[in-house]
Amino acid sequence: MSFSLPTEKPIVLSYFQKYDNNNSSSIGLKELTQLLSDLGFKIEQKNSENNERSWRELKKKEVKAIATLIDRDCSKSICFEEFYIWWIKLSGSGFSTLTKKVKMLTAAYDSFVNFDKDKSGFLDFPEEFDQFYQAYFQDAGDATHSKEQVAKELDKDGDGKVSFQELVQILGILN
């Protein structure tokens, strides 16, 4: 699946406004679900018995993972600036890349939510990060990456907490 999306800001804004049904200047989960569906965003699945391929709509959790990725400031809503950055990334080959990576992205999201014990929207230092590190490095027998190294790599903007965007970046899901 590949097509090019219009990238002119006024056109993108008109899309945004079209789906912002309650004129809140932000897009919520329901509105994003509708938009993705209208764009023809579907997930390919394979029948394990006969190997037949088919396409299905996004699951709620998958939309949530995508929405969290778009919501860069973790405000739990998507404003136009966030939407525009994401849209530009999708234009070109980004759209088909994302359809292929949604499952991986959702798995990362699940794990992220799991470690975000206080539901702040971030993996906070030190406790939440320590548990994350333990699960992915210590228990996995990876002695080559020290906790300090991983912390520095993950927390790219150095604000003392790890956002979902930072995690996705380090996992290389959408590169």
- Which spans of this chain sit near Ca ion (rule: CB under 5 A)? 71, 73, 75, 116, 118, 120, 122, 124, 128, 155, 157, 159
Minimal distance in Å, beta carbon 137 to Ca ion?
18
**CB nearer to Ca ion: pick between 43 and 111:** 111
**CB nearer to Ca ion: pick between 124 and 130:** 124
Minimal distance in Å, beta carbon 128 to Ca ion?
5
**Cα dihedral across residues 28, 31, 32, 33: positive or negative:** positive
Minimal distance in Å, beta carbon 83 to Ca ion?
9
Which DSSP state fits 142? -
**CB nearer to Ca ion: pick between 4 and 134:** 134
CB 16 within 8 Å of CB 27: yes
Minimal distance in Å, beta carbon 17 to Ca ion?
17
Angle at 115 between CA 110 and CA 121, to 5 degrees: 80
**CB nearer to Ca ion: pick between 57 and 73:** 73
Phi and psi for 46 in degrees, rounded to 5? -120, 130
Minimal distance in Å, beta carbon 73 to Ca ion?
5
Nearby residues of 66 by Cβ (< 8 Å), 6 or more positions away = 32, 36, 58, 98, 102, 105
**CB nearer to Ca ion: pick between 95 and 112:** 112
SS3 19: helix
